[in-house]
């Protein structure tokens, strides 16, 4: 099984994918902000995963 942290993605790739998934349109500029917030939260949780797992095992 490949560890998630071993997968390297450029932020631009992630943003493009998020735009497609959420049906991004340029007519709704407010959605861009929410996409960025969601991505930042997801990146933070993803970054903390090893620590969270270690904490839960103890």
Three-class SS of residue 8?
coil
Which of 32, 37, 3 shows the shortest CA–CA distance to 16? 32
Q: Is residue 3 part of a domain?
A: no
Asked whether residue 1 carries a pLDDT value surpassing 50, the answer given is no
Split at pLDDT 50, 70, 90, the class of 31 is low
How many structural domains comprise the chain?
1
Task: Write the pLDDT tens digit of every residue in 4-21.
Answer: 555 555 666 766 776 666
| 31 neighbors 20 (Cβ within 8 angstroms) | no
Q: Is residue 42 part of a domain?
A: yes
pTM: 0.37
Q: Is residue 2 part of a domain?
A: no
| 57 neighbors 36 (Cβ within 8 angstroms) | no
Copy the structure tokens of residue 41.
């939260």
Q: Is residue 50 part of a domain?
A: yes
Q: Is residue 1 part of a domain?
A: no
What is the Cα gyration radius of the chain? 14
Copy the structure tokens of residue 29.
């500029």
Containing domain of residue 42, as a range? 8-57
Q: Is residue 35 part of a domain?
A: yes
Q: Is residue 40 part of a domain?
A: yes
């Amino acid at each position: 099984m490949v560890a998630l942290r071993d997968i390297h993605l450029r932020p631009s790739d992630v943003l493009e994918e998020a735009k497609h998934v959420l049906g991004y349109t340029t007519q709704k500029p407010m959605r861009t902000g929410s996409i960025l917030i969601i991505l930042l939260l997801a990146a933070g949780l993803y970054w903390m995963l090893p620590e969270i797992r270690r904490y839960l095992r103890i």
